[in-house]
Amino acid sequence: MENLTDSQIKEIGSFSDRYKVELKTNSSEWQENLKDHKDHAEFLSQRLSKENIDGLNENTFRDMWKFLWASNIWGNKDWYIDNKLLKPNGLENVKEALKDLLYGEESIDHRYDTFCNKIKGFGASSISEILNFVFPEKYCLWNATPRAVLPYLGIKILPDKFLKYNISTGKEYLQVLNVLTIIKNQLSNFGFENPNFIDLDCLFWYIFKNMVHSKLVPQQRITEPSAIVSIENKISTHEGAEYYLIRLGNLLGYKTYTADPSKDFEGTKLGEIVLLDTIPDSIGERDKKSVREIDIIWFSYDDAPKVCIEVENTTDVSRGLLRLYQLKQFYSSFVIVAPDDKRTKFQIEVNKAPYREVKERYKFLSYSELLELYKNAEKIAALKQKLGIS
């Protein structure tokens, strides 16, 4: 394992000194952030203590999962808990797996892999959040914040794919833990008394918010899988547009579906982040073929296709208009998502037959508008979390 360079240590020390000064300021947001971390640790360590895990029932498990920062990406958390955690896994299996993850005797990389193999619906952010706040002296939090801060500080000890694509195995979590332990241990040289990984994450959050020259613009601790805005801060591919449409639909509380689950965006399969693997049975067999070919659909929680979306990156918008027209029997909004320069083409084509008969149902959303909507939805999700609103 590489050590930090003198310049990297100096940079960490500079941020540490400024952070500690601001931490002492009355009404400081950094005091509030530290308190949030401590409250988080108190709640999770109590709820998931060795003595209390067995006593978790459906309601207390539900409260625990909603409390996780990593859960912020889902607009309807109760639906996710029911359909992605409890039904596929069973509450008893989740409790047993959590006990082994937290209190098992095997190494952490082995316990991490065992948990992932047994339990579906948890990702790196939620697993590391649980580990970190139950045992802040032993385990680190790994989410969008350190993934942005490390390259900003010029710390390139970890493989690039960890920072761009997140992690997926126990071995990778152990690598992350070892690197963040090196950084955490430096904090004692900068006036932190017995620093733990909560101290490190609070410092990282301070650096995160002060990355003035960075192109990264995340505004909250979320999550699952990584929701960080791409380094270019723009959408340039079909897969990128679909990725953000799925994320946006999830944040807005829809059940999301994609016709392209195997497509990959920056290391994440689209099928990993949609809520529906198949078209709901409420759609008749006659219509399913047309519906399942639509790029992205946002279903309401009564299984109605509320928003049907076609992405036109390099193809002509008329292709998407025609596919959506095949669903005119549904009371749905039809959205064409495309690069900004295709708006004029959309306006021309939508006024032609047969589309003009349902013209009011068609909308155009540019890539830049999609990204702006997504960022705003993230901010709203963060505010709802702060206010305790599901």
Whether 43 and 67 have beta carbons less than 8 Å apart is answered as: yes
Whether 280 and 262 have beta carbons less than 8 Å apart is answered as: no
54 and 144 within one domain: yes
Decide if 56 is inside a domain: yes
365 pLDDT above the threshold of 90: yes
Point out the domain boundary residue: 169, 195, 224: 224
Kindly report the backbone phi and psi dihedral angles of residue 28, in degrees, each rounded to the nearest multiple of 5, phi listed first: -65, 140
164 pLDDT above the threshold of 80: no
Point out the domain boundary residue: 191, 224, 257: 224
Check residue 386 and give its pLDDT: 63
Model confidence over 182-209: pLDDT tens digits?
999 999 999 999 999 999 999 999 998 8
Taking residues 60-71, what's their average pLDDT? 93
Check residue 28 and give its pLDDT: 76
Decide if 295 is inside a domain: yes
Percentage of the residues of the chain whose pLDDT score is greater than 90? 68
Whether 291 and 319 have beta carbons less than 8 Å apart is answered as: no
242 and 214 within one domain: no
Kindly indicate the confidence band of residue 1, based on its pLDDT and cuts at 50, 70 and 90: low
Decide if 389 is inside a domain: no
What total number of domains does the chain contain?
2
Kindly indicate the confidence band of residue 231, based on its pLDDT and cuts at 50, 70 and 90: very low
Mean pLDDT over each residue of the chain, to the nearest integer: 89
261 and 342 within one domain: yes
Point out the domain boundary residue: 224, 248, 272: 224
Quick check: pTM over 0.85? no
245 and 370 within one domain: yes
- For 183-244, give the DSSP string: HHHHGGGGT-SS--HHHHHHHHHHHHHT-TT-S----S--TTTT-PPPTTSS--SHHHHHHH
Kindly indicate the confidence band of residue 126, based on its pLDDT and cuts at 50, 70 and 90: very high
Decide if 383 is inside a domain: no
Kindly indicate the confidence band of residue 219, based on its pLDDT and cuts at 50, 70 and 90: very low
27 pLDDT above the threshold of 80: no
Check residue 230 and give its pLDDT: 38
Whether 38 and 132 have beta carbons less than 8 Å apart is answered as: no
Check residue 226 and give its pLDDT: 38
Model confidence over 308-356: pLDDT tens digits?
999 999 888 999 999 999 999 998 999 999 999 999 999 999 999 999 9
Decide if 386 is inside a domain: no
245 and 121 within one domain: no
Residue that wins the pLDDT comparison between 214 and 91: 91
Check residue 224 and give its pLDDT: 38
Model confidence over 92-119: pLDDT tens digits?
999 999 999 999 999 999 999 999 999 9
In SS3 terms, the chain reads as: CCCCCHHHHHHHHHHHHHHHHHHCCCCCHHHHHHHHHHHHHHHHHHHCCCCCHHHCCHHHHHHHHHHCHHHHHCCCHHHHHHHHHHHHHCHHHHHHHHHHHHHCCCCHHHHHHHHHHHCCCCCHHHHHHHHHHHCCCCCCCCCHHHHHHHHHCCCCCCCHHHHHHCCCCHHHHHHHHHHHHHHHHHHHHHCCCCCCHHHHHHHHHHHHHCCCCCCCCCCCCCCCCCCCCCCCCCCCCHHHHHHHHHHHHHHCCCEEEECCCCCEECCEEHHHCCCCCCCCCCCCHHHHHHHHCCCEEEECCCCCEEEEEEECCCCCHHHHHHHHHCCCCCCCEEEEEECHHHHHHHHHHCCCCCHHHHHHHEEEEEHHHHHHHHHHHHHHHHHHHHHCCC
Domain that holds residue 286: 238-375
15 and 82 within one domain: yes
327 and 262 within one domain: yes
172 and 305 within one domain: no
Decide if 230 is inside a domain: no
367 and 245 within one domain: yes
Taking residues 230-256, what's their average pLDDT? 85
242 and 143 within one domain: no
Whether 223 and 385 have beta carbons less than 8 Å apart is answered as: no
213 and 250 within one domain: no
Check residue 118 and give its pLDDT: 96
In terms of Cβ atoms closer than 10 Å to its own Cβ (0-12, 13-18, 19+), residue 87 is exposed
